[in-house]
Amino acid sequence: MGGRPTTDQERIFDHCTHAILLTADEAAHATWQAMLARHGLLLLADLHSELHGQERITDAGPVLRGVISGLERGATAAGPTFDALVERVARLFAYDAAELRRTHLAAAPVEITVDLDRLARTLGAPFTGQKATWQPEHLPAVLNYLPEAVPLGLYGRAPNWLYAAIARLAYPAEFYQFDPRLGWIAPPSLHPGPLPSDAPLQVRASRHTDPLFLDFFLPTSYVDYAEGEGLAVPPLPAGTGVVLSGKIPHWLYTALARTYHAAPWLAVYQPPLGRGVVCHSAGHPPVGAYIPVGG
C-alpha cells in the first residue's frame, strides 16, 4: 500500500500480521512507521529506496535494514538487499508440510473431513513416493468406507473421477473441497438449460448408444470460481447415463456430479484410457467399471 491511505483503507492493516516499510524520505518514514505501530504490525524490513543509489544492507538483524535501489515500474528488481528481503519473506511463509495440512484440516467447514492420503493408506492404495496412486478399482472400497448423504469435506490430491464420486456420495448434504488457491470451497450450483454463446463454460454433446457424452471446454482456457454459480449445463434426459469429459477444474467436476445426481450412472472420461470411469451407479454398470467411448 502506498500514497495516503484513507481511514477505510487503513483498516486493511487490522487483518495483517507483518509489514515491509519502504520509503524515500524521513517524513514518509515517520508517517508510515506511526501507522504500522497503531495497528500492531511486526516489521519484517525497514528499507530506504534510492532510484540510482548504491544498494546495501546496514543491519541484517531481526528487522532487515538497508538501501534498495533500481525500483522502476516494469523492471525486475535485483541486488543483495532485494535478495535478503525475498529470503525473509520466504522464511515467513515456509510452513512444515505436516503443520500446513493440520491447519487446513482444522479449518474445514464440516465435521467429517476426508484426508485422501490417510484414506489411501487405510484402504491399502499404493503410493509412488509421497503420492497416492488411485485406480478405478479402489472406488467401490472408497464409497463403502465413507458415509453417504452426510456433509463431507475432501482434502488432498486425487483424480477428478474420485472427487466426482465422493461429491456425488455426499449429495444432497453439503460438500466442500480444498483448493490450494481458493481454500475450502463448495461446488457451485449449476443450472440445466441452454448455454449462452458467451458463457465461460461450453460443451460438445454427443450420444453413444445409451450414455450422453458431454465434453466440456473453456473458450478462454480459464474460468474463475466466482463465475461458476448458476452456469448453464445441458439438461439430462430421464434414465440416461452420462459421461463427463474436458479440461476443467475439479470444482466443476464435483458440481457436475451433483447437478446430474438423478442419472442412473455417471462416469468421468479418462483420455489415456479412451474410456470413462464409472463413479456413481444405481446398479449397472458397477462403480469402478470402464465405459467405452466413441465408435
pLDDT in tens, 141-171: 999 999 999 999 999 999 999 999 999 999 9
Asked if residues 47 and 67 have their Cβ atoms less than 8 Å apart, the reply is yes
Question: Which of the two residues, 17 and 1, has the higher pLDDT score?
Answer: 17
In a domain, 277, yes or no: yes
Looking at the predicted structure, is the pLDDT value of residue 209 above 80? no
In this structure, are 170 and 286 located in the same domain? Answer: yes
Q: Is residue 257 part of a domain?
A: yes
Say if CB 184 and CB 156 are below 8 A apart. no
Q: How many separate domains does the chain show?
A: 2
**Same-domain pairing of 205 and 167:** yes
For residues 73 and 175, membership in a common domain is answered with no
Report yes or no on 269 lying in a domain.
Answer: yes
136 and 227 part of one domain? yes
In a domain, 97, yes or no: no
CA dist list (Å): 249 to 9, 119, 224: 34, 22, 10
What is the phi/psi pair of residue 257, to 5°? -60, -35
Same domain, 211 and 239: yes
pLDDT band at 55; cut points 50, 70, 90 = confident
The parent domain of residue 118 ranges over 104-292
Query: Can you tell me which residue has the cell 466426482?
Result: 164
Which of these, 228, 222, 267, 266, lies nearest to 247 by C-alpha position?
Answer: 222
Q: What is the CA 153 to chain-centroid distance, rounded?
A: 13
Tell me if 35 is assigned to some domain: yes
Entry pTM: 0.75
The residue among 92, 118, 136 that closes a domain is 92
Instruction: Identify whether residues 82 and 46 lie together within a single domain.
Output: yes
Asked whether residue 281 falls in the same domain as residue 167, the answer is yes
Domain end (from 59, 92, 125): 92
By mean pLDDT, which of 71-85, 113-127, 251-265 is the weakest? 71-85
The pLDDT assigned to 277 comes to 98
Examine the domain organization and report whether 152 and 246 are in the same domain. yes
In a domain? residue 284: yes
Residue percentage of the chain with pLDDT more than 90? 67
- Which set of grid coordinates corresponds to residue 140? 467401490
Residues 197 and 277 in one domain: yes
Q: What is the DSSP letter of 15?
A: G
Mean pLDDT of 96-115: 92
**Same domain, yes or no, for 82 and 188?**
no
In a domain, 99, yes or no: no
H or E element, residue 87 = helix 80-92
How far apart (Å, rounded) are the C-alpha atoms in residues 20 and 232?
A: 45
Per-residue confidence band for 295, with pLDDT thresholds at 50, 70 and 90: low
| Claim to verify: residue 69 and residue 173 sit in the same structural domain | no
Residue of 198, 181, 278, 192 lying closest to 235 (CA atoms): 192
pLDDT value, residue 94: 79
Of the chain, the percentage scoring pLDDT greater than 70 comes to 98
Question: In sequence order, what E strands does 92-226 have?
Answer: 113-115, 127-128, 131-132, 152-155, 175-179, 183-185, 191-192, 202-207, 212-217
Residues 243, 257 contacting (CB under 8 angstroms): no
Band (208; pLDDT cuts 50, 70, 90): low
Residue 45: name the closest of 26, 59, 56 by CA. Answer: 59
Looking at the structure, tell me whether residues 144 and 259 fall in a common domain. Answer: yes
Res 17: pLDDT: 87
Last residue of a domain, one of 35, 67, 92: 92
Higher pLDDT, 1 or 152: 152
Helix spans in 93-212 (H): 97-106, 116-123, 139-145, 160-170
Average pLDDT estimate for 87-91: 89
